[in-house]
Each structure stands twice: as C-alpha cells, then as structure tokens.
A and B are shown apart, each in its own frame.
Chain A
Amino acid sequence: MSVEVAGTASAKAEGPLKLAVPRGALLGETLDTLDAAGIDTAAVRGESRSLIFAGEEIVLVTMRPSDVPTYVEAGAADVGITGKDVLLEQPDRMVYELLDLGYGRCRMVLAGRVGDERLGESQRRLGMMRIATKYPRIAERHFEATGRQVEVIEVKGSVELAPLVGLADGIVDLVASGRTLAENGLEVREEIVECTARFVANRVAHKLRAKEVDDLTAQLRSAGQ
C-alpha cells in the first residue's frame, strides 16, 4: 500500500500536462515551435484522425483555435496555444496569457471595396456604417473606442462576400497576406490590431503545476528565439 504524503503545497495533479493545440492556420508553426521546444509532435503530423496525442510528459489535445480558451478556462486543458484574435474576441474567458509566441502574425483590419466610398458615405449621411465580421466584439469595441456608430452583422463564412452583394458597407477581418482581400476587390482602410499566437494557461494549473508550466513557458520562449 502506498502512503500518501498529505498536505504538500505542490499538490500534483495527475498525469502529464495537457496542452491545447490549435488546428487550422496556426497548426504548422505551432508544431514547429513545439518541436523546437523539445516536444515530440510526430504523431500529430501523421495521418491519424485522433484528437488526443498522449506523450510521456505532455498530452497534445487538438481543437479549433476558438475553442482553446474554453478548454483552458475550465481546466480541461492545463495550457494552450491560440491566436490573440481569439483571446480578444473572448475577453471574459479567464485564462492567463503567459507568452507572445511571435508567429502567426496577422492584422485585424477594417476593409472596404476598392474605389468605393460607401463606408464614408454611410457614416456621413446615415450616421451609421454596416460592418460584417466574424469578430463582432472586436469590431464593436474598435468603433466604440473611435466614437463611431455601426451596425455589426455577424457572419460565419466568407466575410468578403458581404460588401460585394450589399449586406454591409465594409468588413472587419483578419488579414495575413491581403491576397483574399485583393482577389475580392477589397482594400484595407484601417488597421485595428496586430495578432500573433499566444501561450495561455489555466489559472489553477498555473498555481498548482507551477514548475511544469514555468518550464514549458521557458522552453517555448527559447524555441521562439
């Protein structure tokens, strides 16, 4: 029978640390960074359609980037990686933002049709712009902070469509190279914020698994340099 050591401050939660890994655009660079930090990601890179990849020291749990704060806040994942755009869109998720990983750099912008003055005209004559976006909270905050009235229209799919068919005067969206905008006859009018990948941690894991979280943070920090 094993005797449990009662009451140590470093109460260890069971098992290896669980890291939420974003699928999609951030996946490639995330895996490269993890490799550089000494975490084996071969299994995730393989053909497997599993969602969970258990290593000895760390378990990788793959998910949509926008789900990462949800899992980490609840402690279902101890730590995670996701875009700053996701964190800004879900500001009330209580997660600790520990590190700017530097990759996945893109800009949140306001864009309108090339050579089209609808944005300015709606603002002047109607007192209100119609803005389509997948990021309603970031958009609302930006226009509120700059003292303009907007009607924010939330869409789930290709947001570039909205101004082309007259659903909105402009869009707020994430832009990496700007190619998609150009291909749809749109151009950047204002830059709202620059976004990169961030390393986040659950509040309780940050306290109770302090050494593991700090070590991983340090590994990721040096991997990024």
Chain B
Amino acid sequence: MIHPIPPGTRDVLPDEMRELRRLHTAMLDVFESRGYGQVATPAIEYDEVLARGDGRTSESAYRFFDERGDLLALRSDMTVPIARLVASRYAEAEPPLRLCYLANAYRAVRPQRGQMREFAQAGVELIGAAAPGGTAEVVEVLEAALDAAGLDRAVIGLGDADLFRQLLTELGVEGEARDSILARLATHDLVGLELELSQAGIGERDVATCVTLSQLRGGSEVLEEARSLGGTAVERATARLGETFEALEQRGAADRVQIDLGLLRDLGYYSGAILEVYDPALGHVLGGGGRYDRLLKRFGPDLPAAGFALYLERVHVAQMEEESRRTER
C-alpha cells in the first residue's frame, strides 16, 4: 500500500541519513568550535510574533488556529525566531551573543517544481557585533563550514542591501515605481529594469548608472569602478563594502569572496551587507545571509546582528557533485 505524503516533503532512509548526519555533525562542530552555542526553538510560533520580524504579516505559508483560537504559524526561517529568543531569554546578557542552529523551516512550494515545503537549514547568528568586524567573523565561519562540507570551490557573494534603496531615494524615485524597480533588481530582469527606470522619470545617465551597478561583480576593483559612477548612495555603500572587505582581508578570509553590487535578497529585514553562497557544481544558490541591524529592535534590544543559513539538502547535492568530479579527474 502506498500512502502519500504532501508534495515538497520527504522521508529520509538510512543511507542518506548517514550522510546527512555526517554533514550535520561537521557543521555543528565548526560552529561550536568558534563559540556558537546551538539552540532550538519551536517549529510553530504565534503568527503575531513572527510578523513582528517580517513586517505587517509573517512570511509564513502555513497558519492555523490552535484549540484556543490563537493564530499559529510555521516558521519560514530561523533568524526571526532567534531574534525573539534573544529578546526574551537573553535580555540581560552581555553582547555579543553567538548562537547556531540546525533546524527545519517551512515555505510555500510552487506545484511541480521539486521545491521543498520542509527543508533543513544550518546557520549562525552573531548578535551585538557591528559591521565590519561582525560581518567578517560571520563570513569566516561560513567559509569554515563550507570547507568542512568539502566545498572548497564554493564562492561567497557579498553585496549591500541598502545600495539601491538609498540610490533610488537619492534619485527621487518613491512609492510604486521604487518597489517595481527593486523587484526587477531582485529577479535580475535587466530588460525590465531598464524600462522601469526610464519610466520613473530619471535621466539617461542615472538609468545607465543603475544598470551598470547591478552588473558589477568581482574583486575589490569593482568598488573603484562603482565609485567612478558617483553619487552619495554609491559612495556610502562602497565605503561599507570596502570596510567589510578589508576586515576580511585582515582575517585572511577574502579570497573566496566576490563583491557583487547587484546582489539583492528578497527578505525584507536585511540591511547593509548581504551574502549568497554558490558552488560551481550546482546551478542553485546554496545559502545566504547578511546583516539585519534593525531586526532585533523590533523585539526589544537595539543590537546590530548578522548571520547566515545554508540549505543542507542543496549542500548535500553539491557534495555529491564535487565528489564525482574529483573521482572523474
């Protein structure tokens, strides 16, 4: 008899579980050895509490009423629950706090796309350490985690979440036009971006600046290129990125970091540095993160923070691809 399970969920059998367990242990060993203590939080929370972190409503795709009629939600990531945990459990603690997790999170799936409704994330949150030092520490831990997973070719994209928000403000683009431009940037639809920009009533030169900026990625030389395009927003963002990159260089952790001015993550709580992780063996992003200096305040303590999360199923796929690549050579 076959009894179905919901699409986007899956059973794990012993062979896979053995490999996953090895991966889980490797991740947690890296985190713990760097002083990040593991925490767990409930998979279900009050919708109202998650919404505090995500904006007007929670990002959760799954909400339901409990026996008392309270609205509950399944978490869509671990960053918001940990912000909640820090505010409630560590109100008196001396920052910085170093926490890590290995947990399932839940998102909506689009039909027939092989997307996961339930997926495992491993990550860290460094709370109370400002940029650039805090960001650099998080990137360093991320690199160690990738090494521990055997993904020594993986690359970390480093961008700035505020660059385009501030640039558009500087250019006087507000409201709907601004939102649709940011949406085009997030999906990297350059044809649509150029169209939206020219409809927003800004000059040809500024349109070209925005498009060029979104394509700048590479080593620290792209910061020079960006600066030559001018403007206060660009100046501020490149200065932030430059400081972070320098801090990484001092730690010897800048080699696998690619500066990417076109990087934009769709989660609303990011500010300043944002991260994405790629491996040449896989066409999908392995994980991401960044700074969320304004998130903790929504729960109480006004603390700067940064973190990352790796999608463990994808890391596992990349591990297998890299292994078969090594044996083929």
Known interface pairs A9-B155, A97-B192; A203-B285 also in contact (CB < 8 Å): yes
Q: Interface stretch among B82-90, B121-129, B130-138, B252-260? A: B252-260
Question: Given A11-B280, A12-B280, A92-B113, is A204 in contact with B190 using a C-beta cutoff of 8 Å?
Answer: no
Task: In the complex, identify which listed stretch (B97-105, B214-222, B289-297) lies at the interface while the others stay far away.
Answer: B214-222
Question: When the two chains form their complex, are residues A97 and B283 in contact, meaning their CB atoms are under 8 A apart?
Answer: no
Q: Tell me the B213-235 residues at the A interface (CB within 8 Å).
A: 215, 217-219
Within 8 A of B (CB), among A1-41: 6-14
Contact check, B256 vs A75: say whether CB atoms are below 8 A apart: no
- Which residue of A has the minimal Cβ distance to B188? A96
Find out whether the CB atom of B256 lies under 8 angstroms from the CB atom of A96.
no
Known: A7-B255, A208-B155, A214-B215. A203 touches B191 (CB 8 A): no
Instruction: Name the contact of A96 in the complex, choosing from B157, B190, B218 (C-beta under 8 A).
Output: B190
Does B282 sit at the interface, judged by CB under 8 A? yes
Q: Is the CB of A11 within 8 A of B153?
A: yes
A179 within 8 A of B: no
**Contact at B190–A97, with CB atoms within 8 Å?**
yes
**Chain A residue with minimal CB distance to B260?**
A207
B-facing residues in A178-224 (Cβ within 8 Å) = 198, 202-208, 210, 214
Bound complex: CA of A76 vs CA of B285, how far in Å? Answer: 14
Neighbouring A residues of B280 by C-beta, 8 Å: 11-14, 204, 208
Contacts of A208 in B (CB 8 A): 155, 278, 280
Q: Contact between B256 and A8 (Cβ–Cβ < 8 Å)?
A: yes
- With a cutoff of 8 Å between Cβ atoms, the chain B residues found around residue A75 in the complex are 282-284
Residues of A within 8 A of B283 (CB): 73-76, 202-205
Q: Does A89 contact B (CB under 8 A)?
A: no
In the complex, what's the smallest C-beta–C-beta distance from A216 to chain B, in angstroms? 13
Minimum CB–CB distance from B274 to chain A (whole Å) comes to 13
Closest to A201 in B: B188
Does A98 reach chain B (CB closer than 8 Å)? yes
* A198, B329: Cα distance in complex, Å: 36
Q: How far does the alpha carbon of A67 sit from the alpha carbon of B207 in the complex, in Å?
A: 32
Knowing A7-B152, A208-B280 are in contact, say whether A203-B258 is a contact too (CB < 8 A).
no
Chain B residues whose C-beta falls within 8 Å of the C-beta of A13 in the assembled complex: 280-281
Q: How many residues of B contact A (CB 8 A)?
A: 32
Q: Which chain A residues in 74-124 approach chain B with CB under 8 Å?
A: 74-76, 92, 94, 96-100
| Nearest A residue (CB) for B257 | A9
A residues in contact with B281, CB < 8 Å: 13
**B258 near A9: Cβ-Cβ < 8 Å:** yes
Q: A136 CB to closest chain B CB, in angstroms? A: 13
Q: Which residues of A contact B154 (CB under 8 A)?
A: 11
CB interface residues, B 263-284, toward A, < 8 Å: 276, 278-284
User: In the assembled complex, how far is the CB of residue B186 from the closest CB belonging to chain A, in whole angstroms?
Assistant: 10
Kindly list chain A residues whose C-beta atoms are within 8 Å of the C-beta of B155.
Answer: 9, 11, 207-208
Q: Is B189 an interface position by the 8 A CB rule? A: yes
Nearest B residue (CB) for A13? B280
A99 touches B188 (CB 8 A): no
Within 8 Å of chain A (Cβ to Cβ): is B9? no
Residue among B110, B113, B217, B219 making CB contact with A207, cutoff 8 Å: B217
Instruction: Flag whether B187 is at the interface (Cβ < 8 A).
Output: yes
Q: How close is A103's CB to chain B, nearest CB, in angstroms?
A: 14
Interface pair A210/B285, CB less than 8 Å apart? no
- Within 8 Å by CB of A7, from B190, B256, B325, lies B256
Nearest residue, chain A, Cβ from B152: A6
Inter-chain contact A97/B191, CB cutoff 8 Å: yes
CB contacts (< 8 Å) of B157 on chain A: these are 207
Residues in A neighbouring B187, C-beta threshold 8 A: 94, 96
The CA-CA distance from A9 to B155 in the complex, in Å, is 6
Please report the C-alpha to C-alpha distance between residue A208 and residue B258 in the assembled complex, in whole angstroms: 9
Inter-chain CA distance A8–B113, complex, in Å, is 33
Cβ–Cβ contact B285 & A204, under 8 A = yes
B215 touches A9 (CB 8 A): no
Provide the residues of chain A in CB contact with B256, threshold 8 Å: 7-9, 11
Q: Is the CB of A204 within 8 A of B152?
A: no
Bound-state CA distance A12–B278 (Å) is 12
Q: Which A-chain residue is minimally distant from B111 (CB atoms)?
A: A92
- A34–B155 Cα distance when bound, in Å, is 30
CB proximity of B319 to chain A, nearest CB, Å: 16
Alpha-carbon separation in the docked complex, A13 to B189 (Å): 24
Listed by A's residue number, 26 A-B pairs whose Cβ atoms lie within 8 Å are: A7-B255, A7-B256, A9-B255, A9-B258, A10-B218, A11-B256, A12-B280, A13-B280, A14-B280, A14-B325, A75-B284, A92-B110, A96-B189, A98-B190, A99-B191, A100-B191, A203-B283, A203-B285, A204-B279, A204-B282, A204-B285, A205-B283, A206-B188, A207-B157, A207-B217, A207-B258
The 6 residue pairs across chains A and B that have the minimum distance between CB atoms: A75-B283, A96-B188, A13-B280, A7-B255, A9-B258, A97-B189
Q: Knowing that A98-B190, A205-B283 are A-B contacts, what are 4 other residue pairs whose CB atoms are under 8 Å apart, sorted by A's residue number?
A: A9-B155, A9-B255, A73-B283, A100-B191
